Amino acid sequence: MKARSLMTFWMPLAMLGMLFMAGSLGPADAAEHGHQHQVDSELEFLVEMTPHHQEAVDSARQILAVTERQELRDFAKEVIDAQTEEIAKMRQWIKQWHPGAATQAAYQPMMRDIEGLSAEEADIVFLEDMIEHHLAAVHMARDVLDKNLTERDEVRTLAEEIIAAQNREIDQMRKWLEQWSDSPAPAGHHGH
């Protein structure tokens, strides 16, 4: 009877543990699922997307200094140029349309540090993380549009541009990841 009681107590816990371990999230999955920030206003979208973009710019600068692949260097430059421009717009809009508003983001970094990795390792880590990072941006942009939170056409246009550009970039990064690594590219919902 005592053995049965122990089995009744421990078996569900053991099964739960096995399920957790079998379905445990890798860094890319954790990034996607742990960083799906929901927004509740146009201001929150702008406030949260700004540091999100800044992390992409910083990570692109990091890979630019390490990668030996010209196509990834070109890609990093495009990310830096496009997202730096969008950061400037978002900061201007926050200042212009929401003077005095709280602008402290709840943003949590998503990208791993590639310092000390070989060029090949850095390329793979960058692509894995940037795919998930882009998926989170697409999700946030889709969220602001789906909830009809945009008060201004400029923000609606920005959200649509983020979705279109980053979905294209996700497709490209997945192709490179499959070509350059032994592991499949992280799957995730594009939010088309």
Model pLDDT, residue 21: 36
127 found inside a domain = yes
156: alpha, beta or left? (left if phi > 0; alpha if psi -120 to 50): alpha
**21 part of a folded domain:** no
- 111 and 130 Cβ atoms separated by less than 8 Å: yes
> How far does Cα 91 stand from its chain's mean position?
20
The verdict on residue 188 lying in a domain is: no
What residue ranges of the chain have pLDDT lower than 70? 1-36, 183-192
Domain that holds residue 43: 27-180
Torsion over CA: 30, 142, 130, 178 (sign): positive
What's at 124, amino acid-wise? I
In a domain, residue 192? The reply is: no
Measured between alpha carbons, how far is 170 from 132 in angstroms, rounded to an integer? 9
11 assigned to some structural domain = no
Establish if 148 belongs to a structural domain: yes
φ, ψ dihedrals at 24, nearest 5°: -65, 150
Q: Does residue 180 sit in helix, strand or coil?
A: helix
Instruction: Judge contact between 109 and 4, C-beta under 8 A.
Output: no
| Rounded distance between C-alpha atoms, residue 36 and residue 16, angstroms | 25
Tokens of 63: 């890979």
- The residue type found at 46 is L
Task: Give the span between the Cα atoms of 185 and 176, in whole angstroms.
Answer: 9
Q: pTM for the whole thing? A: 0.77
Q: Which CATH number do you get for residue 112?
A: 1.20.1260.10
User: Is residue 123 a contact partner of residue 180, using CB atoms and an 8 Å limit?
Assistant: yes
Q: What is the phi/psi pair of residue 183, to 5°?
A: -105, 150
Residue 118 has what pLDDT? Answer: 96
Contact predicate 64/73, CB 8 Å: yes
The residues, any chain, with a CB within 8 Å of residue 112's CB and separated by 6 or more, are: 27, 125, 129
Give domain status of residue 124, yes or no. yes
- Scan for tokens 């942009």, then name that residue: 141
Question: What's the total number of domains in the chain?
Answer: 1
